[in-house]
Amino acid sequence: MNREGTTGKLRKVEGFDVFNVIFLLFLALIVIIPFYYTIVRSFLTQQEFIMNGTTLLPRQPTLGNYRDIFVGTGMMRAFFNSVLYTVLGTAFSMFLATTLAYGLSKKNYPGRALFQNMIIFTMYFGGGVVPFFLLIKDLGLYGNRFAVVIALAFNAFNMIILRNFFEALPPDLEEAAMLDGASAVRIFWQIVLPLMKPALATVTLYFVVDRWNEWFWSNLVLIDSKMWPMQLELRQILWTSSQMAADVPAEIGRRTYAEGMKAAAVIVTMLPIMCVYPFLQKYFAKGVMIGAIKS
């Protein structure tokens, strides 16, 4: 960047722009490289992997690794489990978050400050993993799929994003509807929520991603591997056949096959998010901006 100091004002700007574009493209490349090589690796045959593990393009691309994933592991079942947990979990989370956020967006009723502080306190202090686990056990949810759906449903940050959106709504429509004698539930469902569509989309996406990526509690609570979500199945595939870094070159012959399968499993688990993210990015970004203003 220092070369700009010595040149004239106009060229100084151009020099910086060129540097900037090159640098940003370089950063993009760094982000892309791990994806690129993992995708390439997932299409490699065992022989080609041994010959040249890192290649720009597979010479004889194969779908064998993907076939092995779906035939040889529980990935297919895990996919449906993940869809189930994501759909039910997101729906339940959204129910809790929207009702609570709407209630908290109202002003001037006894107890508001108490409820608000109660929620905010949970953002700074929590019981932690062990008491939460013991609670799940005491509630008889251990080993139950619904432990994953229900127990993880609340997220204070997402709720506050929604509350901020609710607070930003003009009160006129609600007041008019109330004068017309509409019930509170009807006003919420038929007037307020439709106005909130972009915000609801944003927060729904956050919940969907959280749910899709969840593995920790599933790991602790779901004893039966038939109930596992995709992330946990992937983790199993990545960690059982060989530990991540048990990378002794002499063993290459036997283990390379597993490497292709692992790469394919990573890609398959990532695919749903990869397919929708580029089109929905602006919704993702929206929540950050609203959440950033307050909270």
Partner 1 sequence: MEHNDTALPHVRKQSLGTRILKNRWIYLFLLPGIAFVILFCYGPMYGLVVAFKDYKISKGILGSPFADPWFSNFTLMLKDKRFIAAFFNTIRMGLAYIITGFPGPIILALLLNELHGSRYKRTLQVIYTFPNFLSWVIVGGLMTTIFAGEGVVNSLIRAAGGQTYGFLTDKGLIRPLLYITSIWKGTGWSAILYLAGIASISPELYEAAEVDGANRYHKMLYITWPEIRSTAVILLILSFGGIMSKGYDQILNMTNAVVRDAAETIDTYIYRITFQEKPKYGFSTAIGLSKSVINFCFLLIANKLAKLLGEGGIM
Q: Which of residues 239-278 bind partner 1 (CB under 8 A)?
A: 243-249, 252, 256, 259, 262-263, 265-266, 269-270, 273-274, 277-278
Whichever of 70 and 132 has its CB closer to partner 1, that residue is 132
**CB-nearer residue toward partner 1: 77 or 112:** 112
* CA 88/CA 139 separation, integer angstroms: 20
Per CB under 8 A, contacts with partner 1 among 141-160 are: 151, 153-154, 159
Q: How far is CA 2 from the centre of its chain?
A: 40
Residue 226, both tokens = 């038939």
As given in the structure block, the two tokens for residue 71 are 């035939």
Residue type, 16: F
> What mask, x for binding partner 1 by CB under 8 A, covers residues 59 to 78?
--------------------
Dig out the tokens for 267 from the structure.
Answer: 């890609």
Minimum distance of partner 1 from residue 274's CB (angstroms): 8
Scan residues 160-189 and list those touching partner 1 (CB under 8 A). Answer: 183-185, 188
- Choose which of 21, 51, 63, 168 interacts with partner 1 (CB under 8 A): 21
**Number of helical (H) and strand (E) elements in the chain, helices listed first:** 15, 0
Task: Tell me if 130 contacts partner 1 by CB under 8 A.
Answer: yes
The answer to whether 221 and 235 have CB atoms below 8 angstroms apart is: no
Q: CA-to-CA distance for 284 and 215, rounded, in angstroms?
A: 22
- The answer to whether residue 109 forms part of the interface with partner 1 (CB under 8 A) is yes
Contact partners, residue 90, CB within 8 Å, separation at least 6: 204, 207, 208, 211
Among 57-65, 68-76, 97-105, 195-203, which window interacts with partner 1 (CB under 8 A)? 97-105
